[in-house]
Structure 1
Amino acid sequence: MAKRRKIDNLLALAVLSVLVQRPMHPYEIATTLRGWGKDQDMGIKWGSFYTVVRNMERHGLIAAVESVREGRRPERTVYRITDSGRAELVDWTRELVSTPVAEQSRFRAGLSVLAALHPDEATALLRRRLELLEEELRAERATLAEHLRTLPRLFLVESEYDLAIREAEVAWIRALLAELTSGSYPGMDQWRAFHETGALPAEPGGPGERSDAAP
């Protein structure tokens, strides 16, 4: 079970992962996060960035070190990570790595109502998804290979995970398409009949059950 935290926005974790390197002001933190691609890893909502930073300071995860001014720019507060912040960074990372949590997927939501589509349309749309995924995989493999030339693998492990997940999805869709196109997918006749005639498949225990079943 996920632990209740003072700040449960993953943006806070991202900020801690940057400040563990050295003290920075918020603009520099945000620039570093973008440079590291953390906005892709954690789905950062930048509109809440300064609110999260203020809340982190209030809860003692970070502390102001000094205020600096560069030319005519507004004064900026430089923050450092505190001992509590370091402990939170480590504990939160341990939880995320070790504890599975059910995460919603738009694809899963679509699959849950796949019966709304005619089997032929569902097959065509899945083929289209497969084509797009294969294109993305080729690009991501090339990008990862390029990054591995200059960065330690440890700093690209999340990209390896993304590739593995996409490869698993591609393999699953291929297997599903094989069943759909061969007609071996269970219930294909009923699914097709529903869209072509409006006939609903019999429910367990309903009229479609054996007539000699006990009342």
Structure 2
Amino acid sequence: MAPGHRAGSSTRLLILGCVRLFQPVHGYFIRRELLSWQVDDWASVHPGSIYHALRSLADQGLLDEVRTDAEGARPPRTSYRLTDAGEAMYGVLLRDSLSDPDDPIAFLVAVNFAPSLSRDEVLVLVGQHARDLRDEVERAPAALAAYLAREDSPPSSSETLRLIAARAGGELAWCEEYLARIRSGAYAFLGEEPDWVPSEEQVAEAIAAGAGGAVRVGAASPAGPAAIETRNNQS
């Protein structure tokens, strides 16, 4: 991943991807949706940081503040949508995170937005991820042997290298299984017929909670389906 994109990449991708699913959409809905994905558990995203991330992305020109609504005593709610720059950055972060094995949290986020790319492109990107992991796994025994030959560290500290290698091996095994599933036709990707359609109740709930526009079907959160397709004409 390019150094300029690495800092906070998982959070930026998560926020841009979620806004992209439901745009135009206000911050309260984004926070509610992301908490339903349990991002505070697996993505290290603190609930209180979501509003800050939205404002920061808007300041960077990646999100556009569509409107601010005030109703009664309720705090004003600002709705956002991706700008052209935000759409481009979403693509860069998604592709980098799928192909680069150095940020496991960003990879976890990216896998859940992978259906917004074509099947062939996901195969290429995750294939690169798997090749890099395979190289790491193959280098691990020699690295461990060299470490154990040193006399400046206690032998027990070698367990860190063993753990890193085990994690890489586990992720590599998952990548190979995931790639096989994609090759066999699993899931729906860009340009294909959706493999999941929300119920009328889910659509109604999303609209009532603040989702707008034509929300994309096909992506899913780690905790369950996240995309609700609404065909209302809210602006």
Question: Shorter-normalised TM-score: what interval?
Answer: 0.3 to 0.5
Superposition TM-score, scaled by structure 2 size: 0.42
Flag the structure with more relative contact order, 1 or 2, with Cα contacts below 8 A and sequence separation at least 6.
2
Superposition TM-score, scaled by structure 1 size: 0.45
Flag the structure with larger Rg.
1
